[in-house]
């Protein structure tokens, strides 16, 4: 005898709307779909300090980038900044050069 389990479908009829929303949010988080965080002025100033130190001192920086409803990480050294064009060029560990859009950066920090 085979049992056909409909998963969460069988329970949604008995759920409150708040529970349905929470279940949907949890499912979205499991699929890694996230909304782009809104950055405040303090965070943008912190980014500016990190970028300047990264260029001057050649420090390794870890970037969190928002791309296709997901947040990806990139580690590398800053080689070039092009604020007018809206990107920075980062040399990653394998020697490859990546262009990262400034608008896609959601966080960054130095790697010790």
pLDDT means over runs of 10, the chain (112 residues): 66 75 78 81 93 92 91 92 92 92 94 82
pTM: 0.68
Report the SS3 class of residue 79. Answer: strand
One of 2.30.30.520, 3.30.1330.60, 2.60.40.10, 3.10.350.10 is the CATH number of 41-110, namely 2.30.30.520
Q: Helix H segments across the chain?
A: 9-12, 17-30, 41-57
111 in Cβ contact with 60 (< 8 Å): yes
For the CA atoms of 8, 14, 19, 24, the dihedral, rounded to the nearest 10 degrees, stands at: 30
**Contact by Cβ (8 Å): 95, 71:** no
Token pair recorded at residue 40: 């405040």
Predicted local confidence at residue 77, as pLDDT: 94
Sequence ranges of the domains in the chain:
41-110
Looking at residue 103, the DSSP 8-state letter turns out to be G
3 state SS of 14: coil
């Amino acid at each position: 005898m085979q049992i056909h389990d409909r998963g969460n479908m069988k329970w949604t009829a008995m759920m409150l709307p708040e529970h349905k929303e929470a279940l949907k949010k949890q499912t979205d988080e499991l699929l890694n779909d996230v909304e782009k965080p809104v950055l405040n002025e303090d965070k943008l100033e912190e980014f500016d300090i990190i970028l300047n130190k990264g260029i001057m001192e050649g420090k390794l920086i870890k970037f969190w980038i928002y791309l296709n409803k997901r947040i990806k990480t990139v580690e590398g050294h800053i080689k070039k900044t092009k604020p007018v064009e809206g990107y920075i060029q980062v040399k990653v560990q394998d020697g490859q050069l990546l262009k990262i859009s400034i608008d896609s950066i959601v966080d960054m920090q130095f790697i010790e």
